[in-house]
């Protein structure tokens, strides 16, 4: 066989062997290839983040820190309103009383001073009298009283004389007694009007004339069980001479107050409708929430109760102020008070005071079958609004439809997104929403969710 053919055959055999080895290495590469690759560092498993949860679990301490409270949703009627400014004023003829000097005299003693609480009938001032008319009236009363006694004695003598005395003489004495009795009655009434007490008048009739007079606290304008007066302003000084009718002091009793509102002419129909329909007016007194029962962290005895008096418009002014282009209307109400003892004297603490600024809500539109919540119960995020349903220590975020909102209320629709009776957090919605957004969808270790949505700890 030629050598050239042998070389060709050997080349083909070698080529076939190489091809077979290459094919075997290709089909078994999964077994031997890792031995020839360098060691690779395992990369962390970056799983896709879980969807944020719609609930947050809070401990009892966390709920106390957030001051969380929950109440059931109850469908009700709500009125859209507009705000009108108002101010608390003294009710004319009920609140302030002036005390005047009944006669000309000198201030000998001042019994009470500004800030003191005084009751009707208590002494306020002692005056040393300088009135000649008063002294003359007392003298006339004494003389007339004595003359009556003399005339009555004369009548007795005439009657004892029998027929020897003419009947006309007896009649004349009787008429004189009647005239004197009429004069005595007039003198006594004049002294009483000038401030003398009945016992002082009796003494004057017996010749003991009054040289000093006591000015006392006048009676209340209305029969009420309210507190006493408070001396608001003292107008005189010790030793000062005063004339009859001069103001000695101003007394105040702020039990009967009124809210004076001011409205523009365009708002007249709303006010007239409120009067015609006998609607109550809602008033925002802008009080500190911590001073009202149930609105603070701790219940204290010195808090005021929630104001629940029905407030109605009782007067609409028929004139418009040309300067402000507004007219006034009045809403009377009864003030609240406390009396405390300090240094053996009573001090009155009034809840509302004249000059206190308020906001009046006038009804505009009626919304039926809605839920009314405080602003702290609802959180907004873009176009969404949420409330938080309480289920034990778990708070679930629920989307709602807000139909109206003002400074004090948020009104949500009763459209089935949250059913009536559902307990909803009344506060801290903003904080709860931050917690929901910051946590992952997974619950804490050891907790599981039941089919009803409640969260429990432990095994199934």
**Which two structure tokens, joined as six digits, stand for 62?**
């966390």
pLDDT at 219: 81
Q: How far is CA 20 from CA 15, 25, 30, in A?
A: 9, 9, 17
Best CATH choice for the domain 55-77+368-457 from the list 2.40.420.20, 2.60.34.10, 3.30.360.10, 1.10.150.20: 2.40.420.20
Crossing angle of helices 132-160 and 167-193, rounded to 10°: 160
Query: Alpha-carbon distance 440 to 52, whole Å?
Result: 5
Residue 452: predicted pLDDT: 43
Domain-wise residue ranges, the chain: 3-36, 55-77+368-457, 83-91+256-365, 96-252
The CA distances from residue 335 to 3, 218, 259, 262, 401, in Å, are 134, 21, 11, 21, 39
Mean per-residue pLDDT for 67-92?
92
List the single range of 16-25, 140-149, 430-439 with lowest mean pLDDT.
Answer: 16-25
CB 251 within 8 A of CB 228: no
Please give the residue that has the higher pLDDT: either 5 or 133: 133
pTM for the structure as a whole: 0.62
Given this model, what pLDDT does residue 309 score? Answer: 87
Q: Which of 259, 244, 376, 374 is nearest to 310 (CA)?
A: 259
pLDDT of residue 48: 45
Q: What is the average per-residue pLDDT within 11-40?
A: 62
pLDDT at 51 over 50: no
Q: Which two tokens stand for residue 153?
A: 């004695």
Exposure string (b/e) for 170-190, b if CB count within 10 Å is 16 or more? Answer: eeebeebbeebeebbeebbeb
Per-residue confidence (pLDDT) for residue 166, from 0 to 100: 72
Question: Which tops the pLDDT comparison, 359 or 47?
Answer: 359
Q: Is the pLDDT of residue 257 over 90?
A: yes
pLDDT of residue 12: 67
The β-bridge relationship of strands 315-316 and 326-334 is antiparallel
Percent of the chain with pLDDT over 90: 42
Q: Which range is least confidently modeled, 220-224, 410-414, 444-448?
A: 444-448
Instruction: Please say whether the structural domain 83-91+256-365 has been given the CATH code 2.40.30.
Output: yes
Q: Say which range, 125-129, 232-236, 253-257, 287-291, has the weakest mean pLDDT.
A: 287-291
For residue range 117-156, list pLDDT tens digits in order: 888 889 999 999 887 888 889 999 999 999 998 888 888 8
Residue range 153-178: mean pLDDT, rounded: 80
Whole-number Å distance between alpha carbons of 425 and 369: 20
pLDDT(345) > 80 = no
Q: Could you tell me the pLDDT band of residue 31, with boundaries at 50, 70 and 90? A: low
Can you tell me the distance from the alpha carbon of 142 to that of 65, in angstroms, rounded to the nearest whole number?
81
Report the C-alpha gap between 357 and 37 in whole angstroms.
84
- Residue 378 in contact with residue 386, Cβ under 8 Å? yes
Question: Looking at residues 179-202, what average pLDDT do you find?
Answer: 88
Q: Give CA separation, 381 vs 365, 384, 400, 419, in Å.
A: 27, 5, 12, 22
- Predicted confidence at residue 96, as pLDDT, reads 84
Q: For residue 379, how many C-alpha atoms fall within 13 Å in the half-sphere facing its CB?
A: 21
Higher pLDDT, 338 or 220: 338
Type and span of the H or E element at 151: helix 132-160
């Amino acid at each position: 066989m030629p050598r050239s053919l042998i070389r060709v055959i050997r080349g083909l055999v070698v080529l076939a062997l190489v091809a077979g080895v290459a094919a075997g290495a290709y089909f078994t590469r999964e077994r031997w290839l890792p031995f020839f690759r360098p060691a690779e560092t395992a990369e962390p498993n970056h799983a896709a983040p879980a969807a944020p949860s719609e609930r947050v679990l809070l401990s009892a301490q966390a709920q106390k820190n957030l001051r969380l409270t929950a109440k059931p949703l109850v469908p009700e009627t709500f009125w859209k309103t507009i705000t009108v400014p108002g101010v608390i004023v003294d009710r004319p003829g009920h609140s302030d009383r002036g005390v005047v000097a009944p006669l000309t005299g000198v201030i000998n003693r001042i019994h009470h001073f500004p800030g003191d609480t005084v009751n009707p009938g208590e002494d306020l001032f002692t005056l040393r009298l300088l009135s000649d008319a008063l002294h003359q009236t007392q003298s006339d009363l004494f003389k007339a009283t004595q003359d009556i006694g003399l005339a009555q004695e004369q009548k007795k003598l005439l009657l004892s004389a029998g027929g020897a005395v003419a009947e006309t003489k007896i009649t004349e004495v009787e008429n004189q007694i009647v005239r004197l009795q009429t004069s005595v009655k007039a003198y006594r009434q004049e002294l009483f009007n000038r401030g003398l007490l009945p016992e002082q008048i009796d003494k004057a009739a017996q010749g003991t004339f009054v040289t000093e007079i006591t000015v006392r606290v006048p009676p209340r304008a209305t029969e009420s069980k309210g507190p006493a007066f408070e001396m608001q302003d003292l107008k005189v000084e010790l030793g000062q001479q005063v004339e009859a009718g001069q103001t000695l002091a101003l007394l105040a009793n702020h039990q009967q107050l009124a809210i004076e509102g001011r409205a523009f002419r365009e708002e007249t129909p709303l006010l007239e409708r409120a009067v015609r329909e006998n609607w109550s007016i809602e008033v925002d007194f802008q009080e500190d929430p911590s001073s009202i029962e149930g609105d603070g962290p701790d219940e204290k005895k010195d808090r005021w109760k929630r104001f629940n008096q029905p407030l109605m418009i009782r007067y609409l002014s028929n004139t418009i102020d040309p300067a402000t282009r507004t007219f006034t209307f009045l809403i009377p109400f009864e003030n609240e008070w406390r009396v405390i003892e300090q240094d053996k004297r009573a001090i009155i603490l009034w809840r509302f005071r004249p000059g206190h600024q308020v906001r009046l809500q006038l009804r505009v539109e009626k919304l039926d079958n809605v839920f009314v919540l405080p602003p702290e119960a609802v959180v907004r995020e873009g176009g969404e609004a949420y409330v938080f349903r309480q289920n034990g220590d778990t708070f679930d975020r629920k989307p709602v439809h807000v139909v109206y909102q003002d400074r004090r209320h948020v009104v949500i629709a009763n459209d089935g997104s949250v059913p009536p009776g559902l307990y909803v957090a009344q506060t801290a919605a903003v904080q709860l929403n931050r917690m929901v957004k910051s946590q992952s969808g997974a619950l804490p270790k050891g907790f599981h969710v039941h089919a009803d949505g409640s969260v429990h700890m432990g095994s199934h």
